[in-house]
Chains A and B, each alone.
Chain A
Amino acid sequence: MHELGVVFHIMDSLEKVAEENEVTGISKVVLELGEVSTVIEDYLQNCWKWAARKRALFAEAELVVEKLPAVTWCDDCEKTYPTVAHGKICPYCGSPHTWLLQGNEFNIKEIEVY
C-alpha cells in the first residue's frame, strides 16, 4: 500500500551507500521480499520505474525482487507449515497459537554498481 514511500526510502538509503563507496551509477538493486509482507511486487516495480527516472543514480537501475516464502510455527504441536496455504490455524492440530517465523521481511540484499 505504501510502495512509493518505500521506494523513496530505498533510494535515500542507497544514495548514502553510493556516496560512501564512490559509486557513479547503479545497474541493479536486489531486494528480498517476504511472501506476506505488506508490499506488492507489481506496484513496487511501477513505483520504482517512476521514481528512477527522477534520480540520476537510478536511471539505469533494474529492480530484482527475490521472494521469501512465509512459514508459520505452531506452539502446540511444534511444527512449521506454509502460511499462505493455511493462515493462522495449524493444519496439523487445529491450534490458533501460531506465529510467523519468516515471511514479512523486506530487505535490500545487494546492489550492482559501476
Chain B
Amino acid sequence: MRNVVRSEWTKIRSVASTVWTLSLALVVTAALGMLVSGLLRHDVGRLGPHQRLAFDPTFAAFAGMNIGQLAMVVFGVLVVSNEYSTGMIRASLAAVPQRGTFFLAKIAVATGLALAVGMATSFAAFFLGQAMLGPHRASIGDPGVLRAVVGGGLYMTLIAVFSMGVAAMLRSPLLSLGILMPFFFLISHVLGNVDATKRVGRFLPDQAGSRIMQVVAPADDTPYGPWAGLGIMVLWVAAALAGGYAVLKRRDA
C-alpha cells in the first residue's frame, strides 16, 4: 500500500492539471470573497439593527466558493478520469491489479491534497474577506467562526472527493464534468431555493454541506445543524465512492 501511495503521489504531482485546477480554486474563491466583502462593507453600514444581526461576515467572505468549488470539481474529475481518457489505466492496473488498493491509494492521495488546498483556500478567503469588511469584520476567535472556516476547507475537500467518485462511475471526463458542473453551478441552487423543491433540494450534497460555513443560522426551518449538514454531504460522498469502486471492480479496463 505504501508503494502504491507513493506512486499515486508521483502521478498527481507530475501533471499540469493538478496545479492549475487547485490554484484556480484558491485564487478564485479568495478573490471573489474579497470582492463581495469589499462591496458589502458599505452596504452593511446602512442596514437597520435587525438586519445587522442577520449579517454573517464569515459567510460573506466565502461568497467565492460557489465558483471556486467548480475548480475543485474539475480537479476531482480529472484525477480519476484522466486514467481512462489517456489509457494510463491499463498501465496502472497491470502494475497494481488489486483494484481496491489502487482505488484507495488514488482517492487518499487526491483527498489529502484537496484537503490541504481546501483549508488554505478557506483560511485565505476568511482573512482576506475580513480585511475587506473593515469595521464589520468577524474575528477567528468569535463563537462558531473557527468551525465555519475549518468547515469551509472540509466542504471544498468533500466537493472534490464527490467528483472523484462520480468520475470513477462515469469514466469519461466530459460526461462527468457535463453532469457535475451544471449541477453544482445551477441545478442545485434552483432546487434548493424554489419552494416546491426546497425540502428535497436542501439534502443535496452542496446545499447540506455549505451550512457549516454559516456562523449566523438563517431564519428558516432547515432540519439539520452545521455538522449534521456536513454529515449528509459525507453520506453523498461515501455513496459516490462506493459506486465508483463497484464500477472499477467489476468492469474491464
| Bound pair (A, B) | no
Residue ranges of A at the interface with B (Cβ–Cβ < 8 Å) = none
Residue ranges of B at the interface with A (Cβ–Cβ < 8 Å) = none
